[in-house]
Structure 1
């Protein structure tokens, strides 16, 4: 079926198409009711992710480490006060009531050991706040390595209660349930103790922040996006019917995509919540091209049906190609190491496919049954496009050289970027989780940590003196590093027990020299510990391995990877420990960033080859197919140059979004080249005339769609979730540069390539009269 017959069929069966569209979309959109939100940060990793597997292994070997850290700041600036200690003890006891809590640690219930004649006394550091010796408690706490910069600040102005939870992971509501209970407890505590302020961080709060940001974006960004679209379309098209029809196409496209999202059983996460906003933006482009040509035809005196039929005829192929390349671009996100970005890419791809069918079936059918008129304002836009074409034609050499110089300068700045992420920085400063986490980092401890499981290999082998000495040396080396704030290690307990068992003689604050003696000390200590405060968070069941928890400043991923490498080198060089592995949420995020970029480079490479082949086939020209690559690669590279100067860190979202961006920016090139090629082949125009023709036919549509796309992606910049915000800013910048390149460098490049002896330029008016 050719384009003419297709277009006439749309006009003929317009009522049936409209009714059938609503029925199909209605059925598909029923899947929306099945969509849920995930608040688990583990969704960012595939089940076979190496670091996730290591993390789960440590979680299953030792106690779970998911936590809520409640940081308490006395307004008087002094923790070691009777009233403050009584309040901390109260909150410690009440924290056991939080859902799924398995352990609560604070300075008041810290299991302090001391010698009393021949007995080892193990008890809470603060049992009775009203009678406690404040100087003694302060001295013990501030000299205990397991407490300082973990549960008490060196200045004793801030303290913390760490609640460890064991989530069954049977429902997505578990984490929000814990957070809701913790917030309720925090509010009640602050009301009862107005002189104390509570800040909450930890892995549970992190996971919940992902979910809350996602839900907030869904609630706030879509209305803003629709408002931007409606106002922009009205101002640029001056057509009430066209605006309403486009909004309907957007609405139906989003319903279709999100309905399929639900039917496929996917779960919304931080990145995938931007899908409706991105689909809204992408759906506009096809509609604008059809409507701009339609309104142009009306101004030329055509009847409504004929104007629409002609618009479909000249736009069907380029719209199909742009939709195909856009889908390919978003499908490259399946190369990402991050499952939520795969969901985003697949969802938007579904939305783009839906938008294509709605644009070529539903939109023309709807417009043809509604009243519509064309204003004269667009004539001024056409004159502006003709003037721009004239400028490019007259100054082609200067434009080409200038474009080349700017490109080289911006490309030279690309190396200023580095692959880096900061998962606290995933959230804007206004997000409560980030504010509380930064307060904690500034006043107490970092949230970033790495857990190391070091295996001795034999049952009860961790009491071996040589193994303990190697652990102590490792711990001392770690403590000397600037980025390390605290090291939780079993050797501190062994040294303290050895001192206690020698009458608290400080000279015995060292590791036991006998394996059997060390094992006896450990057994005696464990038997004295209360429920919930055992050593399962540091030792495995048969005591053949230990866990060392390294807490760090809030460092970026590149620094985390560097530290991991340094640790591996130190362990290999200075110990005979053969089996060890490291894991933590921030270590997982650190590794996935680099792997994600590597995999996306491969994906974009494949997509680029396929897109070039498609362009060569559609344009029936190897030369134009090859040329089509330049105006799409250059803007992406140029944006990386600008990004390197303005920001400098390429995170997961930008690394993943390159393929998506490629699929978007090529749309303008497809439309411009298709009109240029039509003029050259069908109308036998010269290169200069073909450039004028392309500008007159699609120039207005291109800058209208670009304006809408940029506005749409800039709406993402309002997101509290910086993954989405950065992706939106980067994409908007690239699309803007792509339009500039398509409007200036591409025509100049075409004129240079098509330059041939004896090919005399003719004016457009002469060509039309020929």
Structure 2
């Protein structure tokens, strides 16, 4: 970077207006913080024009929406006892008082059907607690397991478990408040019942519980991880640099960047969500890593006896251009996430890109003024003092460069090859860490009932009352039978069982009449009698359309990965393609299914984004060093650490979720920074006439300490993210931290060994005189 430009940056006639403009921009952007909201619905993972989401919303419009809370009760011995039935009845009645509740289904209010001559009698199992006697409890224990619409959904083979399903219809006026109102009321209610019934266990899951978990995970990360990140970074930078004032200058830049980036996101209408809430943490980490190069160079100049103004000038002359390029490559890496199929991951990339852009502005227009104003001590920090002795490492690399190339590069390539064995996969429940109650309780419920994994199939007969046509019902019966044979299906739920049950009841309750009625007219009459007899809150709008032209069949599934969900979906689709009559039109969807689709497609789209980032960054490196050869040479130290990290991940986990796929784009934008700094100093050494070995040693002495410090801070920052309660953020932090650590090892060992072999001289670069070389080296050392 030219001395003229640096002099202008440090001249008060330039620096003060630039400082003022930067602060005004940050302030204007910061006003947008008031517009920054928190997304509250799982549907934020999908675009508004998503076909999968459109199908789900259409089905929710035709049938009762699928928002629910499912509560499982575990009795100490048996639910078919007066005490347990009283508990279930009391809890069912209390749950009707929840905000926005539209129906509550349980064993105690199950509409039991019976026939007296030509009349159908439908009564809840229990209306009043006075009904509950030992004899009545024994009667329910005999009858309930025979009810096909009850068994598998709210009771099962293990008599110690029972379920209660609460359907809610949220107004959508204030989604976050509405979701938390329901989930918090459920939590408070269950805590009260736990206290009253200490021998019983209560668990909760459902779509509302899942949405609440997304909100709480985002809030927890924002409230805990971001302040923790700031404290850790400040303490670590103060220790490393041996200066609290240096740490203070970093804090100023972090706060201004925070206001600028998140405020700009607010102006742009971006909402924070569980994935994008990690943006400030990533942003802060990248900013600190960049500023460390300048501050460390200033400290080194002061220790060597330079005046503060000269130390700042020299620091910007040495590192200004690499910092400019490294910011641009980082921005390119995060902007590449815009090819993601899921909006929260695009938001994550855009917020971080905004933060890095503000960081670039502040590094040149605000940081110089801070560095000239603050009076730094001339004592070396503890870690910086140790890193000042890296000459020994440089000599070791020079001595064993051939062995490093011979062993480390093939080993990294082999490890990277195993990274290709990772399987793209997602598990909706495992979006959250094991310490999140939603995940633990959902997994517990899934061992007894289907928790949140299901697929709803909507079948349209094409005419009013067409669902009662025998040929239509026979098709539903065939599909139900096929579903019941699938290992993933725990139970099916549709009006079919009720229609067959009604036919049996109105034909003397003879078992041979548990079948589809002979005519559509009979089926329609039976069902009309049933509807007219239903107790309050027990309508059938969740299964039948108003004109009875279509019905919804739900296959409830065990918790499974996205690959397994899609495999099941494909098998079912193949069966329907073969067996569905021509007059039947169908569609299917569920939250679990559309998450499986977005998980698979997002992995592919993020990898495509990484490829785009890789191309852009390679071209940028080529432009920076004005050499396609050098640009191509940088591919090895930039790509191999990423490949090796994914190889390590294969042995640690073996599955790549839609969050982890974004690590490639992010990491290549970050780790290229150190490559830029290293090559910039090494090439400058060659330009000054140093031998490759001398240039390596000089680069280690002047640049490697900042590379190590910045990389370690990046690793610490991303490992902090690994403690997130949102598992996708935690895994992303862990894998990115691992990638940066491997990249640091490559920068310390492999990159020097490569340039010593393949970049011993600059192509088509004129040599400079020995006198100029000596003067340049002397100036650099001062």
TM-score (normalizing by structure 2): 0.94
Q: CA deviation at 1:129?
A: 4.5
Q: CA deviation at 1:448?
A: 0.8
Asked whether the equivalents of residues 101 and 166 of structure 1 are also in contact (C-alpha less than 8 Å), the reply is yes
In structure 1, what is the equivalent of residue 505 of structure 2? Answer: 500
Q: CA deviation at 1:254?
A: 1.2
In structure 2, what is the equivalent of residue 389 of structure 1? Answer: 394
In structure 1, what is the equivalent of residue 141 of structure 2? Answer: 138
1:156-180 per-residue CA deviation (whole Å, 9 max, x = no partner) reads: 2111211111112222321112112
Asked whether the equivalents of residues 241 and 367 of structure 1 are also in contact (C-alpha less than 8 Å), the reply is no
Q: CA deviation at 1:43?
A: 0.7
Q: CA deviation at 1:192?
A: 4.5
Asked whether the equivalents of residues 11 and 305 of structure 1 are also in contact (C-alpha less than 8 Å), the reply is no
CA distance in 2, matches of 1:571, 1:470: 10
Q: 2:548 aligns with which of 543, 548, 552?
A: 543
CA distance in 1, matches of 2:337, 2:627: 29
Secondary structure of residue in 2 paired with 1:123: strand
In the superposition, relative to structure 1, how do residues 85 and 315 fare at CA in structure 2: closer, same or farther (>3 Å)?
Answer: same
CA distance in 2, matches of 1:433, 1:142: 28
CA distance in 2, matches of 1:190, 1:747: 63
Asked whether the equivalents of residues 39 and 176 of structure 1 are also in contact (C-alpha less than 8 Å), the reply is no
In structure 2, what is the equivalent of residue 164 of structure 1? Answer: 167
CA distance in 2, matches of 1:534, 1:16: 69
In structure 2, what is the equivalent of residue 606 of structure 1? Answer: 612
Q: 1:630 aligns with which of 616, 632, 636?
A: 636
CA distance in 2, matches of 1:90, 1:388: 73
In structure 1, what is the equivalent of residue 155 of structure 2? Answer: 152
CA distance in 2, matches of 1:520, 1:715: 64
Q: 1:184 aligns with which of 188, 204, 222?
A: 188
Q: CA deviation at 1:89?
A: 1.8
> Is 1:693 the equivalent of 2:698?
yes
In structure 2, what is the equivalent of residue 202 of structure 1? Answer: 206
Matches within 5 A, 1:8-23: 8-13=8-13, 14=15, 18=19, 21-23=22-24
In structure 2, what is the equivalent of residue 5 of structure 1? Answer: 5
Q: CA deviation at 1:455?
A: 2.0
Q: 1:453 aligns with which of 458, 462, 476?
A: 458
Q: CA deviation at 1:19?
A: 5.3
In structure 1, what is the equivalent of residue 309 of structure 2? Answer: 305
CA distance in 2, matches of 1:149, 1:690: 73
Asked whether the equivalents of residues 388 and 705 of structure 2 are also in contact (C-alpha less than 8 Å), the reply is no
CA distance in 2, matches of 1:110, 1:382: 72
CA distance in 2, matches of 1:475, 1:7: 78
In the superposition, relative to structure 1, how do residues 722 and 522 fare at CA in structure 2: closer, same or farther (>3 Å)?
Answer: same
In structure 2, what is the equivalent of residue 52 of structure 1? Answer: 53
Q: 1:667 aligns with which of 673, 677, 687?
A: 673
1:661-682 per-residue CA deviation (whole Å, 9 max, x = no partner) reads: 111111111111111222222x
CA distance in 2, matches of 1:298, 1:354: 28
Q: CA deviation at 1:15?
A: 5.3
In structure 1, what is the equivalent of residue 447 of structure 2? Answer: 442
1:187-233 per-residue CA deviation (whole Å, 9 max, x = no partner) reads: 34444545443221100000010000110111111122122212221
In structure 2, what is the equivalent of residue 27 of structure 1? Answer: 28
Q: CA deviation at 1:3?
A: 4.2
CA distance in 2, matches of 1:316, 1:765: 23
In the superposition, relative to structure 1, how do residues 261 and 379 fare at CA in structure 2: closer, same or farther (>3 Å)?
Answer: closer
The RMSD of aligned alpha carbons is: 2.3
Matches within 5 A, 1:286-297: 286-297=290-301
CA distance in 2, matches of 1:704, 1:130: 73
CA distance in 1, matches of 2:387, 2:235: 21
Secondary structure of residue in 1 paired with 2:430: coil
> Is 1:271 the equivalent of 2:275?
yes
CA distance in 2, matches of 1:579, 1:408: 51
In structure 1, what is the equivalent of residue 664 of structure 2? Answer: 658
Q: CA deviation at 1:601?
A: 2.2
CA distance in 1, matches of 2:474, 2:160: 34
Secondary structure of residue in 1 paired with 2:123: strand
1:31-90 per-residue CA deviation (whole Å, 9 max, x = no partner) reads: 22332222211111111112111110110111111001122222x321111232222222
1:408-461 per-residue CA deviation (whole Å, 9 max, x = no partner) reads: 321231233111111111111211111221221123333211111122222211
> Is 1:571 the equivalent of 2:576?
yes
CA distance in 2, matches of 1:555, 1:138: 31
> Is 1:433 the equivalent of 2:438?
yes
Q: CA deviation at 1:728?
A: 0.2
In structure 2, what is the equivalent of residue 323 of structure 1? Answer: 327
CA distance in 2, matches of 1:360, 1:705: 18
Asked whether the equivalents of residues 4 and 309 of structure 1 are also in contact (C-alpha less than 8 Å), the reply is no
Asked whether the equivalents of residues 283 and 356 of structure 2 are also in contact (C-alpha less than 8 Å), the reply is yes
In the superposition, relative to structure 1, how do residues 765 and 684 fare at CA in structure 2: closer, same or farther (>3 Å)?
Answer: closer
In structure 2, what is the equivalent of residue 82 of structure 1? Answer: 82
Moved more, 325-334 or 372-381: 372-381
1:525-555 per-residue CA deviation (whole Å, 9 max, x = no partner) reads: 1121233311111111222221111111111
In structure 2, what is the equivalent of residue 68 of structure 1? Answer: 69
Q: 2:421 aligns with which of 401, 416, 419?
A: 416
In the superposition, relative to structure 1, how do residues 278 and 769 fare at CA in structure 2: closer, same or farther (>3 Å)?
Answer: closer
Asked whether the equivalents of residues 256 and 351 of structure 1 are also in contact (C-alpha less than 8 Å), the reply is yes
1:636-669 per-residue CA deviation (whole Å, 9 max, x = no partner) reads: 1111111111011110110123211111111111
- List alignment gaps of at least 5 residues for structure 1: none
Q: CA deviation at 1:20?
A: 5.1
CA distance in 1, matches of 2:204, 2:370: 53
Asked whether the equivalents of residues 685 and 767 of structure 1 are also in contact (C-alpha less than 8 Å), the reply is no
Asked whether the equivalents of residues 73 and 159 of structure 1 are also in contact (C-alpha less than 8 Å), the reply is yes
CA distance in 1, matches of 2:719, 2:387: 27
- List alignment gaps of at least 5 residues for structure 2: none
In structure 2, what is the equivalent of residue 109 of structure 1? Answer: 109
CA distance in 2, matches of 1:134, 1:514: 38
Asked whether the equivalents of residues 495 and 511 of structure 1 are also in contact (C-alpha less than 8 Å), the reply is yes
CA distance in 2, matches of 1:598, 1:36: 29
> Is 1:243 the equivalent of 2:244?
no
CA distance in 2, matches of 1:403, 1:269: 40
Secondary structure of residue in 2 paired with 1:31: helix
Q: CA deviation at 1:271?
A: 0.9
Q: 1:709 aligns with which of 699, 709, 714?
A: 714
TM-score (normalizing by structure 1): 0.95
Q: CA deviation at 1:473?
A: 1.4
CA distance in 1, matches of 2:438, 2:67: 16
> Is 1:475 the equivalent of 2:480?
yes
Q: CA deviation at 1:181?
A: 2.3
CA distance in 1, matches of 2:572, 2:709: 54
In the superposition, relative to structure 1, how do residues 3 and 499 fare at CA in structure 2: closer, same or farther (>3 Å)?
Answer: farther
In structure 2, what is the equivalent of residue 587 of structure 1? Answer: 593
Q: CA deviation at 1:766?
A: 12
> Is 1:345 the equivalent of 2:330?
no
Q: CA deviation at 1:328?
A: 0.7
> Is 1:754 the equivalent of 2:759?
yes
In the superposition, relative to structure 1, how do residues 87 and 698 fare at CA in structure 2: closer, same or farther (>3 Å)?
Answer: same
CA distance in 1, matches of 2:421, 2:384: 45
Q: CA deviation at 1:385?
A: 2.2
Secondary structure of residue in 1 paired with 2:429: coil
In the superposition, relative to structure 1, how do residues 203 and 769 fare at CA in structure 2: closer, same or farther (>3 Å)?
Answer: closer
Asked whether the equivalents of residues 470 and 519 of structure 2 are also in contact (C-alpha less than 8 Å), the reply is yes
Q: CA deviation at 1:93?
A: 2.1
Secondary structure of residue in 1 paired with 2:290: helix
Secondary structure of residue in 2 paired with 1:60: helix
Moved more, 722-731 or 514-523: 514-523
CA distance in 1, matches of 2:608, 2:17: 44
Asked whether the equivalents of residues 85 and 137 of structure 2 are also in contact (C-alpha less than 8 Å), the reply is no
